[in-house]
Structure 1
Amino acid sequence: MEKERLNLYLPKDVVEDLRRHVPVRERTRFVSQVLARELHRLKLKAAIEASAGAWRDEDHPELATPADIDRWIEEGRAGLSWDRPLPGGEQDNG
């Protein structure tokens, strides 16, 4: 993976905690992992917000109550068996 240097200004207390809890040679990896995780969360949040309204309650009156949803899930599970191949010929290789 190609790397790029980045200079950041962080609050002093954050830097002190970082120095206290993360060994010197692990700090870059630690900060990179934290940033990647937070960026992933932000992207997921944006995707959820962008898809808001894709499901409209009036299009699915059969799922109006929690009991309706439970029934729908149970009906879907009733046709499944753990010892049979997946539908469509797909195999779960574990």
Structure 2
Amino acid sequence: MERKRLGILFMILSCIPYIALFAIPFTSLSASESAVTATVLVVTGETLFAAGGLMAGRSMMERFRNKIIPKRFQRKDRSTHSEE
């Protein structure tokens, strides 16, 4: 159970780098420094989320994805077979 909780914590912590992206325009960084900072923040957020997903397990990732992604954007499973 501890591994699952740590995975959930990582998924929650992955939101922080994305929130920090909004602060970049208000800093005194040059354009190239801002680009590097944004890249590092996005990679960090994605890495934390992926690590959290691996720790939490597939079922937890499915629940998280279903809560985050609206139904209209999710793929519909169609059980029709294409005939050739």
TM-score range, shorter chain: 0.3 to 0.5
Higher relative contact order, structure no. (Cα contacts within 8 Å, ≥ 6 residues apart): 2
The TM-score, its normalising length taken from structure 1, stands at: 0.34
The structure with more helix, counted as a fraction of residues: 2
The TM-score, its normalising length taken from structure 2, stands at: 0.37
Structure having the higher Rg? 1
